[in-house]
Amino acid sequence: MKKRTLGNDKLEVSAIGLGCMGMSFGYGPPGEKSEMIKVIRAAVEQGVTFFDTAEVYGPFANEELVGEALAPFNNDVVIATKFGFKIDRVNMKYGGVNSHPDNIRLVAEESIKRLKVEAIDLFYQHRVDPNVPIEDVAGTVKDLIQEGKVKHFGLSEAGAATIRKAHAVQPVTALQSEYSLWTRQHEIEIIPTIEELGIGLVAYSPLGKGFLTGKMDESTTFADGDIRNLLPRFKQDALAANKVLLEIIERFAKEKNATNAQIALAWVLSQKPWIVPIPGTTKLHRLTENNGAINVTFTDSELAELTEVSEKVKVMGTRYPEAMEKSTGL
């Protein structure tokens, strides 16, 4: 596995990371714990050094899983986690944002324990909190870095103005935002901004929440508790219409003797040397398939063609319902 660096302070991670959310949260029933630990440890064996989680995934269950799975490898891996939501610790439910400094500190202390680490490698604000100035958020994380509890500061789904304000207080190592062949809006303002400031991009959902793998069509249904039941792009008519994009990816996959997933990931990797995709999976064979994308390369003309023809596809359906989209802070 090749390595990449995030941010001006050069946080070195594997070129492809592992998003662990789906093992505990978001895509139906959680995976069986021992099996998920096998997948995470297999990722380490395959050279993955970058793992993504958050306190809200579960809540708490995903951090506990990742902490247990990676405990033997703490000195060899980078674990990113997140703060910024209100969590009802009695009913184990979450709702609304909360980046008040006291909550950031509480989350840091608790996450360190669940992850079984001495300090959090990369600590993201999960979503922008309109009620707390971003300067206060950045200042709190700066204090945590000075105290040795956090190593690097990150933002998730933040807009350009927010990124600039935060970065002026505490340098931002990475921005985590959705980026893939069917989610390209960040190319307009966000990617140029972070390139100017020297901030890395961690691309979540680089496989379009599974759609870009080519394993779904208009007859696909999702389990109870699967977030895709709520997303406009996964409604029946959208799944049917968006197959046009899959046909383009499939053509390149055949030409490259690769899979759809590998083409989609290789495209993300080809955009900038400081972009790191974090596909998620609960299956060992998909982990191996995804990591194989590191060996898929494009000529300049091939990359230009894939970028151009995919960009012409008008994707049906927004990525989130309106209320969720507004919460991204863009």
Catalytic site positions: 57
Which residues face 201 on adjacent strands? 175, 275
Nearest to 127 by CA among 106, 97, 103: 97
Nearest to 242 by CA among 315, 183, 300, 299: 315
Inter-CA distances, 125 with 52, 258, 281, 294, 320, Å = 13, 35, 23, 29, 19
Tell me the C-alpha distance between 18 and 270, whole Å: 18
Nearest to 259 by CA among 288, 221, 222, 283: 288
For the record, the structure tokens of 308 come out as: 């151009």
For the record, the structure tokens of 116 come out as: 């079984």
Tell me the C-alpha distance between 273 and 285, whole Å: 26
